[in-house]
């Protein structure tokens, strides 16, 4: 709960957000209308208090100051993609001199070349929609990764990729998931959700699966015992109400199937793509997105600020706006970097720990599904 003076500030009956503070403290669900009012407020600190109060009250007391990170490694087996998402700067056509395709051996070599490979606990694998890399490729890739690195969890393939592979093979998504689970898939990443609003999708990613299908595929994975994450890509020209509706769609799905671990608000970059940079989010909007996600998602345990997309500094500040996870070491990142993020590609363990400590929190190394690997008390660097 907020310290006394802070609580006094927001609970003054004259404060326009005080009713929402009382609702959160009483464990009542925040409605769409409430969320719109909160989002419209210019009192950023009050919004932060609401989000931090929601985080604190929904987190067991013994882990309230924990902020999580994971020792992970991103793998993007190809940048060739058949989709035409206007915000994507990573995608290349098959004839492009910058197109690449990695064989299973190439991927294994790439991981083997990473000096800290023995400390990895997660592979984050996302790729393009490319017909030469069908289900058999991903089955073989996951099997090989499990054979070489048996302890590393595979979080791989967005709902969009799973839909593509299923259509390519002419089989239901359930069957694709079953094959990949058998080969070593552990969970699904949150990508490919973009903004669920049909109005925006028609403008920026018309040939992508609709929101209902993205949600259905995550629901199927949950029912098969695999957890997953969810993202929102803001900065595509969507309204605050459309951001809120996106978050509410995740809340509704979570009420049904319960497998989302983390919600990750992302923000768009505009180099080398067809989205107008006038849609760029301000720092305040990024912080509001984190806060409103935490306030609305009373059924999702973690809110992540992916430092590569948000930038190290806003990511650190977001830890006072409802966030309790900053992703991880990453090692190599191609999607946001192709679009112009200024963040570095990798952070070392010491840098992540320092960033969390300097925000007054306790750094905790986790695995993909939030088992604790190490709590960084004062002795540990
Ligand atoms: O889905 C595409 C987005 C996402 C751009 O699940 C862009 O733990 C910014 O999903 N500017 C990929 N963003 C990243 C992602 C993710 C990252 C970290 C952790 C997890 C997780 C998931 O990047 C894509 C898309 O929404 N993206 N183009 C761009 N121009």
First to last CA, the chain: 29
**What's the confidence (pLDDT) of residue 204?**
98
184 lines ligand 1 (CB under 6 A): no
DSSP states of 282-328: PHHHHHHHHHHHHHH-TT--EEB--HHHH-HHHHHHGGGTT--EEEE
Q: How confident is the model at residue 3 (pLDDT cuts 50, 70, 90)?
A: low
Question: How far is 348 from 353, CA to CA, in rounded Å?
Answer: 9
Confidence of residue 2 (pLDDT cuts 50, 70, 90): low
Span 298-329, pLDDT tens digits: 999 999 999 998 889 999 999 999 999 999 99
Residue 191 Cα, ligand 1 centroid: separation in angstroms? 5
CA of 266 to the centre of ligand 1 (A): 7
Task: Confirm or reject: Cβ of 233 under 6 Å from ligand 1.
Answer: yes
Mean pLDDT within 266-282: 96
Cross-strand pairs, 188: 228
Tens-digit pLDDT profile for residues 331-365? 888 888 999 888 888 888 999 999 999 999 999 99
What lies within 8 Å, CB to CB, of 42 at 6+ separation is none
| 280 CB-near residues (< 8 Å, 6+ apart) | 235, 267, 268, 270
Average pLDDT over residues 121-127: 98
The CATH code belonging to domain 61-375 is 3.20.20.70
Residue 1 in this model has a pLDDT that exceeds 80? no
With bands split at pLDDT 50, 70 and 90, how would you rate the model's confidence at 53?
very high
Closest CA to 9 of 45, 55, 52, 36: 45
């Amino acid at each position: 709960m907020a310290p006394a003076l802070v609580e006094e500030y927001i609970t003054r009956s004259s404060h326009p957000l005080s009713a929402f503070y009382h609702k959160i403290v009483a464990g009542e669900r925040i409605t769409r209308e409430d969320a719109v009012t909160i989002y419209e407020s210019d009192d950023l600190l009050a919004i932060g208090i609401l989000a931090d109060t929601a985080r604190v009250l929904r987190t067991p007391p013994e882990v309230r100051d924990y902020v999580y990170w994971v020792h992970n490694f991103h793998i993007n087996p190809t940048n060739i993609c058949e989709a035409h998402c206007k915000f994507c700067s990573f995608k290349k056509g098959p004839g492009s001199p910058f197109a690449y395709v990695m064989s299973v051996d190439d991927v294994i070599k790439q991981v083997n070349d990473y000096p800290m490979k023995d400390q990895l606990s997660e592979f984050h694998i996302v790729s393009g929609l490319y017909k030469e890399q069908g289900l058999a490729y991903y089955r073989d890739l996951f099997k090989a990764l499990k054979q070489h690195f048996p302890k590393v969890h595979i979080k791989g393939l967005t709902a969009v990729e799973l839909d593509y592979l299923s259509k390519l093979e002419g089989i239901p998504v359930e069957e694709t998931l079953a094959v990949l689970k058998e080969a070593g898939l552990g969970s699904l990443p949150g990508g490919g959700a973009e903004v669920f609003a049909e109005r925006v999708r028609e403008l920026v990613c018309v040939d992508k699966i609709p929101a209902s299908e993205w949600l259905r595929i995550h629901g199927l994975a949950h029912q098969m015992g695999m957890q997953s994450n969810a993202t929102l890509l803001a900065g595509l020209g969507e309204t605050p109400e459309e951001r809120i509706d996106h978050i509410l769609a995740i809340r509704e799905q979570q009420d049904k199937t319960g497998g989302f671990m983390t919600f990750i608000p992302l923000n768009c970059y505009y180099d080398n793509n067809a989205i107008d940079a006038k849609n760029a989010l301000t720092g305040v909007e990024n912080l509001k997105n984190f806060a409103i996600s935490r306030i609305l998602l009373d059924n999702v345990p973690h809110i992540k600020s992916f430092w590569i997309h948000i930038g190290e500094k806003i990511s650190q500040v977001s830890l006072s706006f409802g966030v309790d996870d900053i992703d991880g070491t990453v090692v190599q990142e191609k999607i946001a970097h192709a679009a112009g993020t200024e963040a570095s590609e990798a952070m070392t363990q010491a840098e992540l720990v320092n960033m969390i400590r300097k925000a007054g929190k306790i750094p905790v190394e986790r695995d993909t599904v939030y088992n604790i690997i190490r709590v960084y008390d004062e002795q540990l660097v």
